[in-house]
Amino acid sequence: MSLPESQGNEPVVAAEPIPSLLTSSCTSQADDAALKTRPESRAHFFGLAYFSGSAHATLVPQRATNRNKQFSSWNSNSVKSTTPINPPLPPTDTTRRPAIMSTAKVKTGQLWGKNKDELTKQLDELKTELGQLRVQKIAGGASSKLTRIHDLRKSIAKVLTVINANQRSQLRLFYKNKKYLPLDLRPKQTRAIRRRLSKHEASLRTEKQKKKQMHFPQRKYAVKVRMIPQES
């Protein structure tokens, strides 16, 4: 092998041989101290592709783009296993469990004792379950589960009915002694009945009508009937 030609008067210096990276001990005491004081230096030491110059040169780590890529500078004969060590997986939340399909129907009698928060939570669960079943229906799920769609729709209607009834009862207590009542809380009846006069308004009379009734009241007459005896 021929040496490279020198440029100008600069002497040509041959590169020192590359020491083995997986030797039992470091090349100098300085390297031993560096590996003991800095644990990360050991990883950098074995991860280097080569040393530039002598073994006392500054260690420059080589970043591998692929995690599973093996370093070309390793001595494969001295390494027992080249399988990369994957990092541990992040901890999973064991408290969250998948939604379980409820099989029992919602009974209205059990809903009246619950407060608004409990009813709202139950309503959200029923809507979520209904949405899942509708997705399964489109995806071609089992027909045994799809029959639950009818029951879920009726259960949602029951919960909404109880929530609405409780809300209206609270509003009735709030407007109990008020002058005006909201239109949706007033009795529906019919359009003609809602527009007719009240009992108080119908009993009102003008001053002229009062005098007329006082001086010319409605007279009542009685007819006397005389019984004529029949001749025998």
In a shared domain, residues 19 and 75: yes
Q: Please report, for the domain that includes residue 162, its CATH number.
A: 1.10.287.310
pLDDT tens digit string along 74-115? Answer: 555 554 555 555 556 656 555 554 444 555 688 999 999 999
Instruction: Tell me, yes or no, whether 37 lies in a domain.
Output: yes
Instruction: Tell me, yes or no, whether 102 lies in a domain.
Output: no
**Contacting residues for 15 by C-beta, under 8 A, at least 6 apart:** 53
pLDDT of residue 23: 45
- Above pLDDT 70, what percent of the chain? 55
Distance CA 3, CA 88 (A): 51
- Above pLDDT 90, what percent of the chain? 43
In a shared domain, residues 117 and 67: no
In a shared domain, residues 118 and 60: no
Average the pLDDT over 40-47 and give the result: 49
In a shared domain, residues 19 and 61: yes
Q: Are 91 and 142 in contact (CB under 8 A)?
A: no
Instruction: Tell me, yes or no, whether 179 lies in a domain.
Output: no
Q: What is the mean pLDDT of the chain?
A: 74
Instruction: Tell me, yes or no, whether 190 lies in a domain.
Output: no
Structural domains of the chain, count? 2
pLDDT of residue 195: 95
Instruction: Tell me, yes or no, whether 157 lies in a domain.
Output: yes
pLDDT of residue 37: 55
228 vs 192: which has the higher pLDDT: 192
Q: Are 64 and 48 in contact (CB under 8 A)?
A: no
Q: Are 42 and 34 in contact (CB under 8 A)?
A: no
Instruction: Tell me, yes or no, whether 112 lies in a domain.
Output: yes
φ and ψ at residue 81, rounded to 5 degrees: -135, 135
Average the pLDDT over 190-209 and give the result: 96
Distance CA 134, CA 131 (A): 5
Distance CA 67, CA 87 (A): 11
Average the pLDDT over 181-192 and give the result: 93
Residue that is last in its domain, among 156, 174, 192: 174
Residue that is last in its domain, among 174, 198, 219: 174
pLDDT of residue 151: 93
User: Minimal CA–CA distance to 122: which of 100, 139, 106?
Assistant: 106
Residue that is last in its domain, among 79, 98, 123: 79
pLDDT band at 196 (very low <50, low <70, confident <90, very high): very high
Distance CA 31, CA 28 (A): 5
Distance CA 81, CA 201 (A): 102
pLDDT of residue 127: 95
Q: Are 133 and 149 in contact (CB under 8 A)?
A: yes
Q: Give, in degrees to the nearest 5, the angle at Cα 73 between 69 and 78.
A: 95
pTM confidence score: 0.45
Instruction: Tell me, yes or no, whether 28 lies in a domain.
Output: yes
- Domain span at 70: 15-79
Instruction: Tell me, yes or no, whether 208 lies in a domain.
Output: no
pLDDT tens digit string along 110-153? Answer: 999 999 999 999 999 999 999 999 998 888 877 778 888 999 99
